[in-house]
Structure 1
């Protein structure tokens, strides 16, 4: 393990899950995030997700975590504004520092720790609308993450329930970062890519040369393209491989995680994200649909799981 990453003995706010040599560090106070997922070893720890640094944990920075939850929507909402059931929802004052509201609000607020075992934990989140920053989402809801470690996988089950007396638009996902090297490859199958404007808002769904490379037997090099795009028609299975290290991790997801985000920027070669999400960018403002997401009636719930399966 990186010397910069503290352990629960050093930081009482962290929760450690164990199964054999496998470890997961959870930071409930940092947006209910996963801080690290690794195999401990005498010759050093092998990380399956990019571990949080001591500095990121001290700053409570979700963007510096290994993975963090996205809800009540994923990605961006154009100009932080949308119309739903003939009412305008303005999220511009919710404390989000981005021009277009990004990733909801649950990643910027602490989660409550529930039932815990040696290899599992439940994290709970409650949202009640108010005038306070990060509470401008006008629908009341509750959410849970169950994070469970086994010999085969790290499984995250996300669920949410609409506690409002009216319909609520909703989307969810997770935002994992992976170690990225010059030989890192991604293998997955998608039907089409959402092309976007310079500020990453969708323009149209169409082909891209990366789609064939992703589906090839050897996969696509993470350095092959400059990508920060959403993909539709995802097979709900993606493998991130480090062939020079003879290891890989496979992400498998249930419906409705039918969309995938691939973030592999050319100007930041240390960053790589392959994200399971239920909605694409600005899905709630897209004409013609196809962007995923759902509408939960009063009292209705949604629940789905995804898992990372390491292979050495």
Structure 2
């Protein structure tokens, strides 16, 4: 199949399972569902027609995070003796958020019935979303099969100097009164009121997620990073007899859970390579994640969602 135009949805199918990609909306996944006994099962929260029309990544099923995950305090940090100022990157938040690739269109590469490759090229400029001062390229290779949706991410530093870097994906799951989250983590990062991490430590949600029944998505007001993630988490709907398991490779050594009390329809469990604000956080690199890519250096990693219906 020839490459699709970047301003149209790309549909992948494998049997009764379907994935919709929205390359023009930040290289996002717009839907992941399947049909069983005449009904549709949404494994990720599907994008609405309004979100697609508005090209709103926050309304998609999941979107990629490049070249960093989550927030950077005041949109500024020091790197290699230089102040990196992202305050002009057009991000409408108090702190820089999620990088820039989620706010720009991706190009569609090879596509077949059940797999696709999306490409992104960043060249710095004064244009808002191009304000990141390091050139890089990224790809997403997306494959759908009988049980699993697999996403492989790749990035290469195209600059002539080292580049600080992080990556991840930001999935939204259907959230109901009976949704449970199962995961094993060592600690939760406490945060400031504007959601910048301060220290990792104990929290009741850590034990709740590790329990046999899992953590209710409504039990805590969460927008937090988690340390010591086993790289596996399951979101379950026991009343519906189904579950989806997220599994990830290194360097996705960190997890974010977003289950806000103020927005009871929202639930995110995200694989990420760095804690929020890692470039400003004064802790050991092993604790906060993130990386530095030398000129021409690259990194790749894979994560997957495996589904189960009882």
State whether TM-score is above 0.5: yes
State the SS of the aligned residue for 2:127: coil
Alignment counterpart, residue 155 of structure 1, candidates 134, 150, 154:
150
Which residue matches 1:202? 197
1:297 aligns with 2:290: no
1:68 aligns with 2:66: no
- Structure 1 stretches of 4+ with a deviation exceeding 6 A read none
Alignment counterpart, residue 122 of structure 2, candidates 124, 127, 141:
127
2:259 and 2:291 mapped to 1: Cα distance?
A: 27
State the SS of the aligned residue for 1:285: coil
1:99 and 1:80 mapped to 2: Cα distance?
A: 8
Residues 139-154 of structure 1 mapped to structure 2, 5 A cutoff? 139-154=134-149
Q: How many residues align?
A: 302
1:70 and 1:185 mapped to 2: Cα distance?
A: 25
Gaps of 5+ in 1: 1-10
Which residue matches 2:79? 84
Residues 1-312 of structure 1 mapped to structure 2, 5 A cutoff? 13-289=8-284, 290-312=287-309
Residue 43 of structure 1: CA displacement?
A: 2.4
Residue 12 of structure 1: CA displacement?
A: 7.1
1:199 and 1:138 mapped to 2: Cα distance?
A: 25
User: Could you report, residue by residue, the CA deviation over 1:128-152 in whole angstroms, capped at 9, with x for unpaired residues?
Assistant: 0111111111110000000110112
User: Could you report, residue by residue, the CA deviation over 1:63-114 in whole angstroms, capped at 9, with x for unpaired residues?
Assistant: 0000000010000000000000000000000110001000000000000000
Segment drifting more, 301-310 vs 36-45: 36-45
1:267 and 1:46 mapped to 2: Cα distance?
A: 26
Residue 213 of structure 1: CA displacement?
A: 0.7
1:132 and 1:14 mapped to 2: Cα distance?
A: 26
Preserved contact between residue 7 and residue 23 of structure 2 (Cα < 8 Å): no
Backbone CA RMSD of aligned residues? 1.0
Gaps of 5+ in 2: 1-5
1:268 and 1:85, CA in 2 relative to 1: closer, same or farther beyond 3 A? same
2:214 and 2:288 mapped to 1: Cα distance?
A: 25
Which residue matches 2:3? none
1:41 and 1:62 mapped to 2: Cα distance?
A: 28
Q: TM-score, normalised by structure 2?
A: 0.96
User: Could you report, residue by residue, the CA deviation over 1:172-197 in whole angstroms, capped at 9, with x for unpaired residues?
Assistant: 00000000000100000001111001
2:265 and 2:301 mapped to 1: Cα distance?
A: 30
Segment drifting more, 75-84 vs 286-295: 286-295
